[in-house]
A and B are shown apart, each in its own frame.
Chain A
């Protein structure tokens, strides 16, 4: 029944998408056609398929092979809901749903040829993903060969299961070990899928031969939504890794992580360069390249992480999803760049840049750095694969390589972030930059000195502090300057005037909020990466150890039976100055399916940073613990959320900005 309902939803969405492609193309050629009806069909179909999957999961309907293989009746809320995107087939339902929503957004805006063309492209992508769902990655296959737990063979047709298992193994224990896994994928997917919208408008604009800024204006909100969610998703991913993967790290330059970073870098570059085209009409061709790349990178990332070419995940290796995604990636790249080449005589138009000492000049530098950054991540992630394919030699590329290239690039980007906001469009009058950056420089260096004298003299940390404070002070100084100028005229308070300044150009200041977020991330990483303490101890009950200013006392082992797992660990009292602060419980969580336990760290957060305890080994007499500190790690989470918040705030500003006829142009000040 649910198999039928779900499949019906998918097929409805597929038919709707095909109709949208046809009608979108007709509309793009100037014909009249109703896009809303098929748009609603796509949306309804995608919603129905997700609802069907959720009903199946919540009711433990193991007749569906997906439910049988990735769910268990003991899986608690919210992991039963999240199981819908815990594995490949299910995650494509989520992908389809998000895509349907974005398609609907584009359909609602489609009143002209450009809009119709964008709808056609969106729906074309939809055809691919809904097509996947009825072919190589069908989440609604029913079980025909049940195992004790799980399902060995399944079929799409007919919709009734021939053999229903009693229970399933449940989702991957690593994924059900933390609530973040329930929210992280949807957030990230909104980011990935959202990038389809600017791509669709770009292809539409190319196809119609209208490379002007209209497509940028139309896709700007979606781009911001996608970027903000992508930012949030990456932050949550790092946090999840930190809380679950038990090595105190948050970023390992793993292909899965790189897959999300590459589109983010491209999208970040695009947000800046799009602004240049909207303001100055420059970088038309470049924006097309960036948008196509950003979208292609999301598909490449999905291919790399889901096809098994990098990670040896056998179920994916064996499925045809890899070739399908690769084929689609090729179609996207070849199609887009062929179209780009065909329209090259149109997109090449751009006025001359007057001087590099201008906003657009700093944006050029920023784009160059971000593009090289993305390229470094791309080549580092794919090079082992390509080299082995060409020569059969195997090499590894990991953290040390990425850090060596990414750290200098990141610092250069920070520096550019200090210059960008204070530099006016078209060019800065002589002495303006000096006036605006003199104090930020002094404040930054002073902060660096204070930290160097009081906290640490590690060069990377000091550099991060100096550059970070420089960026923040430049932004703060600019706000003071504008508000001060208005105050002199109006006589209102500085605070009131600052609010007016921000309100008048909220999207600019929202961008600066994102910059502040990036600064926090940079400082957080600098501290956490350079100043952590680490040690391994073996303790008998009652024994204590001094670590990072705390006294840790091994109280006793414990064991807790929960519906879906057994938690086995030790209680460790954390005290300072003979006062117990908290009791930490580093543990290993044993799920039914895994032979071993999932090591789960216990974390105590303090303003100075985290104390991070990992269970290494536990026997009847002693416990071995890994002790770590992560100084100032909370800055990283705060910074990531702040960066995303800047994006959301900018979205809120957009509608109001339109009312303001003449937004504050910095060059006029």
Chain B
């Protein structure tokens, strides 16, 4: 057999076998499992990089069940995926679409290949000078200095940015927000109730408890304010100032709400036992006695004494001055 015949025979054999293979493989019925296929395109949200088809986790299994249910009820693939993305964002899609902001992913490799081919073709036409032409580096010292400076600058920039972002790291794992640092003015009563109920054990909660009680007190809701003042008044961990405020308020409410002058003075005296100099306690006590027991003179005396204190808060001072005027004026019927 001549070389030529052998060549022709080879080509024929190769051609026939290629066609046969193409026919065999192309007539293979597509046995694609749609559920499995969709599964490989969705990242399991509780795993690291595994698809829901591959992950053994419960969540992945549940999601596969959902996918398979949707597939059997005739929902198209893309819609099933879109539904999942609707609740999980594109971050769980392992198969970025060749559009929008993931188009780059598909285009870049093709561009890289094209650039590579272009580079090779270009290089074939324009090879560099032969190795012998290369001489020792010229101006190397200047270049070295410029390079070095650029390097240091770049490095410094990175370090600066990195260090900066390290400092700015949000305290993500700090847990619950700090009660003390929260501006309470915008917080609703219910919220404060909830916070207090959830932090009964925390001695620092008295501050918020009082703030809430003051709110109820100011709005005249003695019924809601009462239990909070009571807790603070009975709390051995409460600070002196907190206990005084609570006792004084309880005292005023006992008088104002129920007309119980005796209970009121007893409570306020408890406050005065903590701090005999407490201006608020002395003022409220004088006022209760004035209004409840008609002891006008004693009230006037106390008011005048209090007003001599230069550190008296302006608001209290105005209040006392007004009261004093009424008390001094015409028989002293309390307002």
Contact = CB atoms under 8 A, between A and B. Distances in A.
B51 interface: yes
Interface of A is mostly: helix
A247 B116 contact: no
Interface in B159-209: 159, 162-163, 166, 173
Contacts of A255: 49
Given A247-B50, A401-B94, A457 B124 contact: no
B151 interface: yes
Interface stretch (B9-17, B231-239, B253-261, B291-299): B9-17
Contacts of A395: 90-91, 93, 96, 101-102
Contacts of B95: 398, 400-401
Contacts of A353: 123-124, 127
A616 B56 CA distance: 8
Contact of B109 (A335, A372, A534): A372
A323 B137 contact: no
Interface string B38-68: 0011010000111100111000010000000
A338 B50 CA distance: 39
A400 B127 CA distance: 40
Nearest to B154: A334
Contacts of A458: 25, 28
B158 A327 contact: yes
Interface of B is mostly: helix
Contacts of A314: 173
A446 B128 contact: no
B105 A397 contact: yes
B162 A351 contact: no
Contact of A401 (B104, B105, B130): B105
Contacts of B120: 364, 368
B78 interface: no
Interface stretch (A75-83, A103-111, A340-348): A340-348
Interface in B107-135: 108-109, 112-113, 116-117, 120, 123-124, 127-131, 133-134
A348 B147 contact: no
Nearest to B143: A342
B105 A372 contact: no
Given A247-B56, A399-B94, A459 B143 contact: no
Contacts of B50: 247, 252, 254
Interface string A361-385: 0001000100110011001100110
Contact of A397 (B13, B14, B96): B96
A563 interface: no
A396 B43 contact: yes
Contacts of B1: none
B24 interface: yes
B122 to A, nearest CB: 12
A349 B154 contact: no
Contact of A211 (B93, B134, B158): B134
A500 interface: no
B90 A394 contact: yes
Contacts of A252: 49-51, 54
A270 to B, nearest CB: 16
A440 to B, nearest CB: 11
Given A346-B134, A400-B40, A457-B24, A445 B17 contact: yes
B185 to A, nearest CB: 33
Contact of B56 (A339, A364, A384, A614): A614
B137 A457 contact: no
Interface residues of A, number: 77
Residue of B7, B14, B51 ringed by the most chain A CB atoms within 10 A: B51
A162 interface: no
Nearest to A352: B127
A482 to B, nearest CB: 21
Interface string B312-334: 00000000000000000000000
B92 interface: yes
A330 interface: yes
A373 to B, nearest CB: 9
Contact of A442 (B13, B20, B90): B13
B235 to A, nearest CB: 32
Contact of B93 (A253, A375, A396, A448): A396
Nearest to A453: B24
Given A330-B158, A394-B90, A401-B94, A452 B131 contact: no
A255 B94 CA distance: 13
A471 interface: no
B162 A326 contact: yes
Nearest to A249: B54
Interface string B204-233: 000000000000000000000000000000
Contacts of A380: 105
A349 B134 contact: yes
Nearest to B14: A441
A420 to B, nearest CB: 16
B241 interface: no
A99 B55 CA distance: 36
Contacts of B136: 209
B75 interface: no
Nearest to A255: B49
B5 interface: no
Contacts of A398: 43, 49, 51, 94-95
Contact of A345 (B27, B54, B134): B134
B101 A387 contact: yes
Interface string A168-208: 00000000000000000000000000000000000000000
A278 to B, nearest CB: 13
A434 to B, nearest CB: 8
B238 to A, nearest CB: 32
B116 A368 contact: yes
Contacts of B108: 375, 379
Interface in A443-485: 445-446, 448-449, 452-453, 457-459, 462, 466
Contact of A396 (B13, B96, B137): B96
A519 interface: no
A457 B49 contact: no
Nearest to A282: B127
Nearest to B10: A438
A430 interface: no
A376 B113 CA distance: 10
B116 A401 contact: no
Given A346-B137, A379-B108, A399 B131 contact: no
Contacts of B137: 209, 342-343, 345-346
A450 to B, nearest CB: 11
A438 B7 CA distance: 9
B273 interface: no
B112 to A, nearest CB: 5
B18 interface: yes
B17 A449 contact: yes
Contacts of A211: 134
A293 B123 CA distance: 21
A253 B41 CA distance: 13
Contacts of A320: 166
A136 to B, nearest CB: 11
Contacts of A364: 120
A349 B129 contact: yes
A452 B51 contact: no
Contacts of A399: 40, 51, 94
A249 B36 CA distance: 14
Interface in A385-440: 387, 391, 393-401, 405, 434, 438
Given A396-B92, A441-B14, 4 more contacts: A252-B51, A342-B140, A342-B147, A343-B137
30 contacts: A246-B56, A249-B54, A255-B49, A311-B48, A323-B163, A330-B154, A334-B151, A338-B150, A343-B137, A345-B137, A349-B130, A349-B134, A352-B124, A364-B120, A368-B116, A372-B112, A383-B105, A387-B102, A394-B91, A396-B92, A397-B105, A398-B51, A400-B95, A442-B17, A445-B14, A452-B21, A457-B24, A458-B25, A534-B36, A626-B56
Top 3 closest A-B pairs, CB basis? A398-B94, A400-B95, A348-B128
